């Protein structure tokens, strides 16, 4: 017989129910069953007058077992039955919280008669981040304790609340001292009044003020904007409202109905996929956790432009000192000025203390002398994206860097092995591709060259984590994962315009799909001059099918930076405005090619944009340039504003049906060929996609 993950013992007159199911004491079927059995044991134990539920290890219960959601069917006992048993039993039950009491874990705690916590404990109902809602009575019980507004805020944001604040709100009864939740609970139990001990379901303090209140409609209206297109947040509000309109048991039934609706929705499948994909990216088969990362005490960043400055900020934000090198003092002064201005903006918003800003700035040591890089453990190069410039820099780095230093390039497109070949130590060379603005964007593509040593990979991944990035290991191919895919997406956006859509319509369709920004607005933000430079190299290398409109647009149009790109911009304003000059250029181009513009639906535009990513993503996967389809999804979600609730491009394809996606891609390919449009050559269906569909597979595996 397997041992239960929940045990029972006794201390004086208190029965202790300990959940011991590493890593996070999630409520698997075995834990629910264990809770049922051990709580029952405590209730019938004649020697105890009260029970404590506590988590072993680093945390209280961190929620339902999300892996069970994927397997389907959660099995008996149901969490609501366990909670009802706890709440309606003959003895008071105290939840002793430490670590994170989340989701179903907090719902168990809310079913207890009292909640005590260590000061560092966090509580939250983060289900909405998985596309679902609290389905174990959380919406009904929390409402009774704290009212509608706080409940809605907590449930629709999924925020983690520190114990002292939770106590002030009325969620926790007592925050003790120290780090031992059991000790706090035992002393609390010793001072328990004789009773009666109210069940949360019978408490009323949160309900009265908000019955019939407008808070529900206000929340719905606000979420319609802030959580546009998302299913679960609106259902969360519906579930909370039920606490104010229905008796407790009927409210629970309504909550469960809404929970099941969310669970059946594609958005839950997408977001649960993202939860696991985000954790899977850290797992690299040939770089196991036993590989020790190198110690990084001092970093150097080369290039004090927008990218280099942003990269330097990342390190000093994490307390790691940086030497920032640029060749001329004027550029360096400018770069330092921009960094200081960025921090000052954050201080002005009240998000950073002045003293902290000063401390961070003092950690950056500007220099124009390569010799100052001699003690750096990690050097990140962020100079101009030109192979010759980078070659020169790496030759110089090879001369000055100490033995064992890691030499990283922030190249976004160039061949890492060619860069490494400029040094006598290719094993120490790696790509660390930050996304602009580098101090804000969460994604870091860690690029592995053919000779990169495993401990160098382990270090780059560990440093990425230390500076708050989501790091994804990618292979060395042109544009790596993100930019390799995006070039076809950008080309497809242009092809749609050539065929008849307007620039504004294409961007609007992308927004409707849920992307943070449309492809043309994104081009203007990145800079059309930079894109043209990269494109010229690719065309020369035979790596690109061409982007006809880009070649037609006036080279003086650089994008947002000079107020003229695909759109025009008023001075000091980032709002893209349609530009008749660009429209005229498009008309002329269509006329020249004899194209009669046709109309497009947003759906058709959305499919063509996203499937261009999917087809290239499948090629990348087959070439081994990404380890998993989920890694590609994470690149897109954290680097390109892809909506997490769509799961990333690859998950979106799975949810759309790989066979449907392949059928569309095959048609786009045939259409491009029939029109003699070589620019659409990338629609050649990915062999992996064809194989998976032929084998009847539903996913990329
Ligand atoms: C719910 O409760 C609904 C109830 C209604 C029922 C009717 N399940 O994040 P980490 C794994 S919905 C399964 O790296 P951290 C995770 O995959 C749930 N597994 O650690 C990883 O595994 P790996 C509401 C889970 O210290 C390992 O634990 N709860 C779960 O940075 C370590 O995780 C949530 O949404 C889980 N619930 O952060 C909470 N949680 O090592 C989700 C974690 O094999 N969890 N794992 O890769 C979290 O937010 C964070 O994991 C954390 C710990 C804050 C608990």
Query: Quick check: 535 pLDDT over 90?
Result: no
In the reported structure, the alpha carbon of residue 201 is separated from the centroid of ligand 1 by a whole-number distance in angstroms of: 27
**pLDDT tens per residue across span 167-186:** 999 999 999 999 999 999 99
In the reported structure, the alpha carbon of residue 378 is separated from the centroid of ligand 1 by a whole-number distance in angstroms of: 32
Length of the chain: 701
Between strands 299-302 and 161-162, the pairing is: unpaired
Regarding the beta carbon of 572 and ligand 1, being less than 6 Å apart is answered no
- Taking the CA of residue 63 as reference, the ligand 1 atom at the shortest distance is 2
Query: Quick check: 679 pLDDT over 80?
Result: no
Q: In the structure, what pLDDT confidence band is assigned to residue 534 with cuts at 50, 70 and 90?
A: confident
DSSP 317-349: HTT--EEEE-SSHHHHHHHHHHHHHHHHHHHHT
Query: Quick check: 95 pLDDT over 80?
Result: yes
pLDDT value at residue 530: 82
Catalytic residues: 107, 127
Q: What percent of the chain stands above pLDDT 70?
A: 99
Mean pLDDT of all residues belonging to the chain: 95
In the reported structure, the alpha carbon of residue 24 is separated from the centroid of ligand 1 by a whole-number distance in angstroms of: 7
Domains of the chain, each with CATH number or no CATH: 6-264 (3.90.226.10), 299-474 (3.40.50.720), 482-694 (1.10.1040.50)
- Nearest CA-CA partner of 201 in 319, 96, 107, 64: 107
Which residue has the least CA distance to atom 5 on ligand 1? 135
Regarding the beta carbon of 104 and ligand 1, being less than 6 Å apart is answered yes
pLDDT value at residue 137: 98
Query: What number is the average pLDDT over the span 524-534?
Result: 86
| Sheet of 122-124, strand order | 100-102, 122-124, 161-162
Which residue has the least CA distance to atom 46 on ligand 1? 24
Regarding the beta carbon of 103 and ligand 1, being less than 6 Å apart is answered yes
Task: Lowest mean pLDDT of 442-456, 535-549, 664-678, name the range.
Answer: 535-549
pLDDT value at residue 185: 98
pLDDT value at residue 645: 98
Please state the pTM of the whole predicted model.
0.94
Q: What angle do CA 529, 440, 390 make, to 5 degrees?
A: 45
In the reported structure, the alpha carbon of residue 63 is separated from the centroid of ligand 1 by a whole-number distance in angstroms of: 7
Regarding the beta carbon of 279 and ligand 1, being less than 6 Å apart is answered yes
Q: In the structure, what pLDDT confidence band is assigned to residue 548 with cuts at 50, 70 and 90?
A: confident
Residue carrying the six token digits 């130590």: 425
To test the pocket of ligand 1, the residue of 62, 71, 81 to mutate (highest count of ligand atoms within 8 Å of its CB) is 62
Residue carrying the six token digits 């061409």: 546
Q: What angle do CA 591, 594, 595 make, to 5 degrees?
A: 85
Q: What angle do CA 357, 362, 368 make, to 5 degrees?
A: 130
Query: Quick check: 666 pLDDT over 80?
Result: yes
pLDDT value at residue 195: 78
Which residue has the least CA distance to atom 27 on ligand 1? 23
CA atoms of 125 and 113, how far apart (whole Å): 19
Query: Quick check: 680 pLDDT over 90?
Result: no
**pLDDT tens per residue across span 21-68:** 999 999 999 999 999 999 999 999 999 999 999 999 999 999 999 999
CA atoms of 519 and 524, how far apart (whole Å): 9
Query: What number is the average pLDDT over the span 406-416?
Result: 95
Query: What number is the average pLDDT over the span 601-618?
Result: 97
pLDDT value at residue 526: 85
Regarding the beta carbon of 135 and ligand 1, being less than 6 Å apart is answered yes
Which residue has the least CA distance to atom 15 on ligand 1? 24
Regarding the beta carbon of 24 and ligand 1, being less than 6 Å apart is answered yes
Query: Quick check: 677 pLDDT over 90?
Result: no
Which residue has the least CA distance to atom 29 on ligand 1? 63
Q: In the structure, what pLDDT confidence band is assigned to residue 546 with cuts at 50, 70 and 90?
A: low
Query: What number is the average pLDDT over the span 639-667?
Result: 98
Query: What number is the average pLDDT over the span 662-669?
Result: 97
Which residue has the least CA distance to atom 31 on ligand 1? 279
In the reported structure, the alpha carbon of residue 65 is separated from the centroid of ligand 1 by a whole-number distance in angstroms of: 8
R_g (Cα) of the chain, nearest Å? 28
**pLDDT tens per residue across span 102-153:** 999 999 999 999 999 999 999 999 999 999 999 999 999 999 999 999 999 9
pLDDT value at residue 544: 65
- Nearest CA-CA partner of 163 in 74, 60, 71: 60
How far does CA 283 lie from the centroid of its chain? 17
Regarding the beta carbon of 66 and ligand 1, being less than 6 Å apart is answered yes
Regarding the beta carbon of 278 and ligand 1, being less than 6 Å apart is answered no
Regarding the beta carbon of 55 and ligand 1, being less than 6 Å apart is answered no
- Taking the CA of residue 23 as reference, the ligand 1 atom at the shortest distance is 28
Query: Quick check: 586 pLDDT over 90?
Result: yes
pLDDT value at residue 541: 79
Q: At what angle do helices 503-513 and 482-499 cross, to 10 degrees?
A: 130
pLDDT, greater one: 701 or 288: 288
Neighbour tally for 507: CB within 10 Å: 24
pLDDT value at residue 545: 60
Residue carrying the six token digits 């394809």: 653
**pLDDT tens per residue across span 371-401:** 999 999 999 999 988 899 999 999 999 999 9
Q: Residue 266, exposed/middle/buried by CB under 10 A (0-12, 13-18, 19+)?
A: middle
Q: In the structure, what pLDDT confidence band is assigned to residue 547 with cuts at 50, 70 and 90?
A: low
């Amino acid at each position: 017989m397997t041992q239960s993950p929940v045990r029972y013992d006794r201390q004086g007159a208190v029965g202790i129910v300990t959940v011991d199911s590493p890593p996070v004491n999630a409520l698997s079927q075995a834990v629910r069953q264990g809770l049922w059995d051990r709580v029952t044991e405590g209730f019938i134990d004649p020697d105890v007058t009260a029970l404590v539920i506590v988590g072993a290890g680093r945390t209280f219960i961190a929620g339902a077992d999300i892996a069970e959601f994927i397997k389907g069917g959660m099995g008996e006992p149901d969490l609501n039955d366990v909670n009802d048993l706890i709440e309606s039993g003959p003895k008071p039950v105290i939840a002793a919280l430490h670590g994170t009491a989340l989701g179903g874990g907090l719902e168990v705690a809310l079913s207890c008669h009292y909640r005590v916590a260590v000061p560092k404990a966090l509580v939250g109902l983060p289900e909405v981040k998985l596309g679902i809602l609290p389905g174990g009575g959380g919406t009904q019980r929390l409402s009774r304790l704290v009212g509608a507004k706080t409940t809605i805020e907590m449930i629709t944001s999924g925020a983690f609340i520190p114990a002292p604040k939770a106590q002030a709100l009325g969620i926790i009864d007592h925050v003790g001292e120290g780090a031992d939740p059991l000790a706090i609970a035992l002393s609390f139990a010793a001072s328990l009044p004789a009773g009666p001990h109210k069940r949360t379901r019978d408490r009323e303090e949160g309900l009265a003020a908000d019955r019939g209140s407008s808070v529900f409609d206000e929340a719905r209206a606000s979420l319609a904007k802030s959580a546009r297109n998302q299913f679960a947040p609106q259902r969360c509000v519906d579930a909370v409202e039920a606490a104010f309109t229905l008796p407790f048991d009927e409210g629970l039934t309504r909550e469960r109905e809404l929970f099941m609706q969310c669970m059946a929705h594609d958005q839950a499948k997408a977001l649960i996929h993202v939860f696991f994909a985000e954790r899977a990216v850290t797992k690299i088969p040939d770089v196991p956790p036993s590989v020790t990362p190198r110690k990084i005490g001092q970093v150097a960043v080369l290039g004090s432009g927008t990218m280099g400055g942003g990269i330097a900020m990342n390190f000093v934000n994490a307390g790691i000192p940086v030497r920032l090198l640029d060749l001329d003092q004027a550029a360096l002064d400018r770069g330092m000025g921009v960094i200081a201005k960025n921090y000052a903006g954050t201080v002005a918003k009240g998000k950073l203390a002045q003293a902290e800003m000063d401390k961070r700035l003092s950690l950056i040591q500007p220099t124009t002398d390569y010799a100052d890089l001699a003690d750096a453990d990690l050097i990140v190069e962020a100079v101009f994206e030109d192979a010759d410039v980078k070659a020169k820099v790496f030759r110089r780095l090879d001369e000055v860097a100490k033995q064992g230093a890691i030499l990283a390039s922030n190249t976004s497109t160039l061949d890492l092995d060619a860069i490494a070949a400029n040094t006598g130590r290719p094993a120490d060379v790696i790509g660390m591709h930050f996304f602009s603005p580098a101090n804000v964007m969460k994604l870091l593509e860690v690029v592995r060259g053919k000779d990169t040593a495993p401990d160098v990979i382990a270090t780059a991944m560990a440093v990425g984590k230390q500076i708050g990035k989501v790091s994804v290991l990618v292979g060395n191919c042109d544009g790596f994962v993100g930019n390799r895919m995006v070039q076809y997406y950008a080309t497809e956006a242009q092809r749609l315009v050539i065929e008849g859509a307007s620039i504004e319509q294409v961007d609007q369709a992308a927004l409707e799909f849920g992307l943070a920004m449309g492809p043309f607005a994104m081009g203007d933000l990145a800079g059309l001059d930079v894109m043209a430079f990269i494109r010229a190299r690719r065309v020369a290398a035979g790596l690109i099918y061409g982007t006809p409109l880009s070649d037609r647009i006036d080279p003086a149009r650089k994008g947002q930076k000079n107020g003229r790109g695909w759109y025009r911009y008023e001075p000091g304003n980032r709002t893209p405005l349609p530009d008749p000059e660009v429209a005229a250029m498009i008309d002329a181009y269509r006329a020249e090619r004899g194209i009669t513009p046709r109309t497009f639906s947003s759906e058709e535009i959305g499919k063509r944009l996203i499937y261009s990513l999917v087809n290239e993503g499948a090629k990348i996967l087959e070439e081994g340039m990404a380890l998993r389809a989920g890694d590609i999804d994470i690149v897109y979600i954290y680097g390109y504003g892809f909506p997490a609730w769509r799961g990333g491009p690859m998950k979106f394809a799975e949810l759309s049906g790989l066979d449907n996606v392949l059928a569309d891609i095959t048609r786009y390919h045939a259409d491009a060929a029939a029109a003699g449009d070589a620019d659409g050559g990338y629609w050649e269906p990915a062999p992996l996609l064809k194989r998976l569909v032929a084998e009847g597979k539903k996913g990329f595996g």
